[in-house]
């Protein structure tokens, strides 16, 4: 039998009125929610213009707005979007691994014109920044969010390999940073370029950490060095 979870959201309006919305949901069972509002709360909800929709739809949009505006819930916001865009992300992932089927080092097959065009497109969406003459690196925001997503994705599924997790993280960030304006080819090549140049080192570190934990369980007294990354 699944456990019932109750989620309370406390909302403070600009006029000082406070009200609380209760959500009841069976664990692992999305979609259906039971919401209890008193008459005053319902009138407040109807008058709210910060989000669109009616009744349940408005509550859902209000919840998503709440998630998106709380820094501590940034990870949850990305997790929600990852689920909603799973098919699109999976398609991008297949396109990336298809390139690796052709060669182990796709970027070595690219000419300078292609690389420069790709860097320009990635810079326009603030995924990369210039740090010197013809020198570009992933922006601090991109790198910080990547680390968070890589941790979340590898934690969500212990079965996913670390390099696929890195690709998923970079794909999602490129989609987010560009507001879904980058085409499939740019997301494919941009993910390969950024990961090969800077991000796969984090995947390698997680891979070695996982191997260390497996070894530690099998041989508690063994010492296995773990690579550290910045």
For residue range 162-219, what is the model confidence (pLDDT) as tens digits?
999 999 999 999 999 999 999 999 999 999 999 999 999 999 999 998 888 777 666 6
pLDDT band at 25 (very low <50, low <70, confident <90, very high): very low
Residue 143 CA neighbour count, 13 Å, CB half: 14
More reliable by pLDDT, 220 or 189: 189
The 8-class DSSP code of residue 2 comes to P
The proportion of the chain whose per-residue pLDDT surpasses 90, expressed as a percent, equals 55
Amino acid 1: pLDDT: 36
Report the sign of the C-alpha dihedral through residues 208, 209, 210, 212, in that order: positive
Taking the model in full, what pTM does it have? 0.77
- Mean pLDDT for 72-94 is 94
Residue 130 CA neighbour count, 13 Å, CB half: 9
Q: Which helix (H) or strand (E) holds 101?
A: helix 86-102
DSSP per-residue string spanning 43-61: HHHHH--SS-SSHHHHHHH
Rounded to whole angstroms, how far apart are CA atoms 43 and 76?
A: 29
Rounded to whole angstroms, how far apart are CA atoms 26 and 34?
A: 10
Helix ranges, 125-139 (H):
none
Rg of the Cα trace of the chain?
Answer: 22
Angle among Cα 181, 185, 189 to the nearest 5 degrees reads: 105
Distances (CA, A) of 68 to 135, 140, 180, 194: 33, 20, 18, 26
List pLDDT tens digits, range 65-79: 888 888 888 999 999
């Amino acid at each position: 039998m699944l456990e019932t979870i109750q989620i309370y959201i406390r909302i403070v309006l600009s006029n000082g009125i406070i009200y609380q919305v209760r959500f009841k949901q069976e664990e692992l069972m999305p979609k259906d929610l039971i919401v209890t509002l008193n008459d005053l709360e319902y009138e407040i909800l109807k008058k709210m213009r910060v989000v669109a929709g009616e009744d349940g739809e408005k509550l859902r949009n209000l919840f998503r707005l709440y998630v998106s505006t709380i820094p501590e819930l940034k990870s949850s916001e990305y997790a929600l979007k990852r689920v909603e865009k799973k098919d699109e992300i999976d398609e991008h992932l297949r396109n990336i691994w298809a390139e690796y089927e052709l060669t182990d080092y796709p970027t070595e097959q690219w000419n300078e014109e292609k690389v420069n065009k790709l860097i320009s497109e990635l810079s326009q969406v603030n995924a990369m920044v210039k740090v010197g003459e013809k020198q570009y690196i992933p922006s601090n925001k991109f790198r910080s969010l990547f680390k968070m997503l890589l941790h979340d994705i590898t934690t969500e599924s212990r079965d996913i390999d670390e390099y696929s997790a890195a690709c998923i993280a970079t794909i999602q960030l490129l989609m987010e940073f560009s507001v879904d304006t980058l085409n499939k080819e740019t997301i494919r090549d941009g993910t390969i370029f950024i990961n090969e140049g800077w991000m796969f080192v984090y995947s390698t570190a997680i891979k070695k950490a996982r191997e260390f934990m497996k070894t530690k369980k099998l041989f508690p007294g063994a010492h296995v060095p773990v690579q550290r990354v910045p």
